[in-house]
Structure 1
Amino acid sequence: MGRDQRKVVRELVAAHGQTYADEAGIRLKDTPQPLYRLLVLAHLLSARISGSIAVAAARALGEAGLRDPRRMADADWQERVDALGRGGYRRYDERTATQLGEEAELLSDRWGGDLRRLREEAGGEVPEVRRLLQEFNGVGPTGADIFLREAQLVWPEAAPFVDRKALQGAERLGLPKDPDRLLGLAGKTEPAVLAAALVRAAVDKKVREDTLARAN
């Protein structure tokens, strides 16, 4: 007899249902600074580096005061490199430091430092938001998906957003790869929380083993 899929989802969310923004210390609100910090986090998470290092680097940037696009753009390149290094983000630190400066300048120049204006330019249409996000150097399709996956908590038109990485996690747990069925199994769980938990299952074997053990 197969596992109770509803129980698997329940145990996954209970033990591993933390958004990456929350882990990075970002109190997500529909206001400029938290949204910008989420953009930076999505940028960092989209590189081929562990999620824990990306989160630590986002925290380090915040602790260095680089919490808004103007401060990021005005910071010395070495200041950005050093902050990334303190977070352990060393493999891509120099390139990423440059990209973060360019990203902040584009956001400031085109959208007044406010991602809500990007959202307005897109008319609230998620595919267009996703396209515009990719105009930031270093934010490709994966980074745009990460941003939307987390931003759906405060941008309702993006919900439910279950990206490919989350569906990969579902498959590895023996769950359906259909977003609607997954949401049905999750009940009242926020889609962003479910998606984050599924992503953790996709990238971490220990999360999968722990979840399945709990569900037995």
Structure 2
Amino acid sequence: MSSRVSAAARRTTDALLAECGRTYAAEAGIRLRDTPQPLYQLLALSHLLSARIRASVAVAAAQALFAHGMRTPRRMAEATWQQRVDALGEGGYRRYDERTSTQLGEGAELILDVWGGDLRRLRREADGDGEKLREGLQRVPGIGPAGADIFVREVQAVWPETGPWIGAKGIQGAERIGLPTSPDRLAEVARGRDGAAFAAALVRVALDQDLAATVRERARTD
């Protein structure tokens, strides 16, 4: 880590990663690689996480969709609307299940039509331009600014040109545990670490006050 980073920030970062340094993709069982299937799974998960619903429910719903074979745009598009609704309900994603089922089907069709089912084509179109990448992602039904940010935050593990990316929710988490809140300073704090795991951990403490308190306490006592 850079010498500009304080000892307190180092301790807090160590505590943060030890307590909750896990991406949401990993939690959902996605073995993220730069290949079409896990990239699509990450986009589906990002869609689910972007709704006003608990992250644990979104992850469970993604796991249910994948367990029922809906791991690729083709398989998602070929599933019936009711099959998607049932899988979402199995994961506890009931408040938005009908609309989300429609969006997942339409989104899968668009990904097949526009990018041949391969989001790496979108990456090539964006050519390192983060805004262009987010605009492309938001062409997919159900993916708004929040969903695009989640995808970019997690995909930086395999598309390094998208990072370092923290996002607004991650900055809230940084403030909660006493880390710097400017993106440039946070990039310094994260240097040499797993950027995707760091960003996801900041989101987790933004969403969970008790977890944030545990991180602060661990940083004080380690």
Range class of TM-score, shorter chain: over 0.9
Distance 1:181 1:105 in 2: 40
- Give 1:125 shift: 1.4
Aligned equivalent of 1:106? 110
Aligned equivalent of 2:82? 78
What is the number of residues matched between the two proteins?
215
Distance 2:150 2:190 in 1: 20
Aligned equivalent of 1:201? 205
Q: CA RMSD in A?
A: 1.4
Residue by residue, what CA displacement relative to the aligned partner does 1:150-173 show, whole Å, maximum 9, x if unpaired?
000111110111111111100111
Of residues 11, 18, 24, the one that matches 1:20 is 24
Residue by residue, what CA displacement relative to the aligned partner does 1:88-109 show, whole Å, maximum 9, x if unpaired?
0001000000000000000001
Of residues 28, 33, 38, the one that matches 1:29 is 33
Are the structure 2 counterparts of residues 213 and 179 from structure 1 closer, same or farther at C-alpha, using a change threshold of 3 Å?
same
Identity of aligned residues (%): 60
Aligned equivalent of 2:58? 54
Matches within 5 A, 1:84-95: 84-95=88-99
Matches within 5 A, 1:135-214: 135-214=139-218
Q: Which moved more, 1:175-184 or 1:95-104?
A: 175-184
Aligned equivalent of 1:42? 46
Are the structure 2 counterparts of residues 186 and 117 from structure 1 closer, same or farther at C-alpha, using a change threshold of 3 Å?
closer
Distance 2:142 2:186 in 1: 30
Scaled by the length of structure 1, what TM-score is found? 0.96
Structure 2 residues not aligned, in runs of 5+:
1-6
Instruction: Check whether the contact 1:175–1:182 (CA below 8 A) recurs between aligned residues.
Output: yes
Q: Which moved more, 1:42-51 or 1:155-164?
A: 155-164
Aligned equivalent of 1:125? 129
Distance 1:46 1:211 in 2: 25
Distance 1:88 1:19 in 2: 21
SS of residue matched to 1:4: helix
Structure 1 residues not aligned, in runs of 5+:
none
Distance 1:68 1:178 in 2: 37
Distance 1:186 1:92 in 2: 35
